[in-house]
Amino acid sequence: MKMLVTGATGKLGTKVVEALLKTVPANQLAVSVRNPEKAEGLRARGVEVRQGDFDRPDTLDAAFSGINRLLIISADGDNETRIRQHTNAVAAAARAGVTFIAYTSIANGMESNNFLAPTHKATEEAIIKTGIPYSFLRNNWYLENESSSIQGVLAGAPWVTSAGTGKVGWALQEDYAEAAAAVLFSNGHENTIYELSGKLLTQEELASALSTVLGKEVPVQQVDDKTYAKIMKNAGVPDFLIPFLVGIQKGIREGTLEIESNDFEKLLGRPATPINVGLTQIVKGISERA
């Protein structure tokens, strides 16, 4: 059996590959990456490195050839770009005769009103239409996504948000990666959907957990979207990123990530890493890079 992970040099992909290598022989694992030179370290460990570009379908035919089980990690970019790229990947998987596709989606993928959801809905639909057995890994939100806010707090800023009382199921990328690896290498996941979520928390509850980790009060500044955008701009966030960040806050406020689940326990035999442990890990990483 040959498994392949796309986007294997990205933040999540790297962690998925590391989780797989703890369980499966390197010669059963291949990766598809846009720039193979970035994966030389994996090649040296016995992993087959293939060149695959979601914008060049011809490269995907070769990348997916002979693959039994495929993990498509969602790409970066706007919805239109990602829908095109993901559709290319799914079509190539079908042409290559892949027998199982796992895909990293978003919470409540098919019904979500989150501004990121159109990509995932289109991709899930494309996979279903192929008739290939699948598993949709509907990842809630990465705790690492809050690193910039945590860095701001460490520098003396308040926790700024326009998400109101909306709740999020934050979990570490490592947890999501281990769940993806478990689905890819083990059987019994055909035509399944996993809503992968940590304990649901509001912004205030997350800031309170951070207060405990830091041993100091973390004030929360609740603002409207316009003010949030202005604060982000003043903090040096590039203009093109600001609508994305505002959209995230709006989606949280509207409850699009408020999906409770124990699916981590189903896949890992344990819940997601406790929030205090995850925050401690992130704070340590920020401090070490400083």
Specify if 234 maps to a domain.
no
- Identify the band that residue 49 occupies on the pLDDT scale cut at 50, 70 and 90: very high
59/181 Cα distance (integer angstroms): 24
Q: Which residues contact 50 (CB under 8 A, 6 or more apart)?
A: 4, 30, 31, 32, 33, 36, 62, 63
173 has pLDDT over 90: yes
Specify if 88 maps to a domain.
yes
258/106 Cα distance (integer angstroms): 12
32/69 Cα distance (integer angstroms): 13
Specify if 267 maps to a domain.
yes
290 has pLDDT over 90: no
- Are 53 and 60 in contact by the 8 Å Cβ rule? The answer is yes
Closest alpha carbon to 113 in 262, 264, 260, 258: 258
Give residue-wise pLDDT tens across range 179-238. 999 999 999 999 999 999 999 999 999 999 999 999 999 999 999 999 999 999 999 999
Instruction: Map residue 49 onto helix, strand or coil.
Output: strand
**Domain ranges, residue 67:** 3-140+172-196+259-272
Specify if 104 maps to a domain.
yes
* Adjacent-strand bridge partners of 171: 142
Give residue-wise pLDDT tens across range 19-40. 999 999 999 999 999 999 999 9
Give residue-wise pLDDT tens across range 53-93. 999 999 999 999 999 999 999 999 999 999 999 999 999 99
169 has pLDDT over 90: yes
Whichever domain contains 265, its CATH number is 3.40.50.720
C-alpha angle with apex 197: 33 to 189, nearest 5 degrees?
A: 65
- Are 161 and 202 in contact by the 8 Å Cβ rule? The answer is no
- Are 53 and 84 in contact by the 8 Å Cβ rule? The answer is no
Specify if 63 maps to a domain.
yes
Specify if 215 maps to a domain.
no
pTM: 0.97
96 has pLDDT over 90: yes
Specify if 12 maps to a domain.
yes
Give residue-wise pLDDT tens across range 251-283. 999 999 999 899 999 999 999 999 999 999 999
What pLDDT sits at residue 184? Answer: 98
- Are 30 and 184 in contact by the 8 Å Cβ rule? The answer is no
Give residue-wise pLDDT tens across range 113-146. 999 999 999 999 999 999 999 999 999 999 999 9
CB atoms within 10 A of CB 280: 17
Q: How many domains does the chain have?
A: 1
Say which residue the tokens 């609508």 belong to: 243
- Identify the band that residue 50 occupies on the pLDDT scale cut at 50, 70 and 90: very high
Closest alpha carbon to 8 in 51, 39, 37: 39
- Are 21 and 5 in contact by the 8 Å Cβ rule? The answer is no
> Whole-number mean pLDDT of the chain?
97
Q: Which residues contact 81 (CB under 8 A, 6 or more apart)?
A: 75
Specify if 124 maps to a domain.
yes
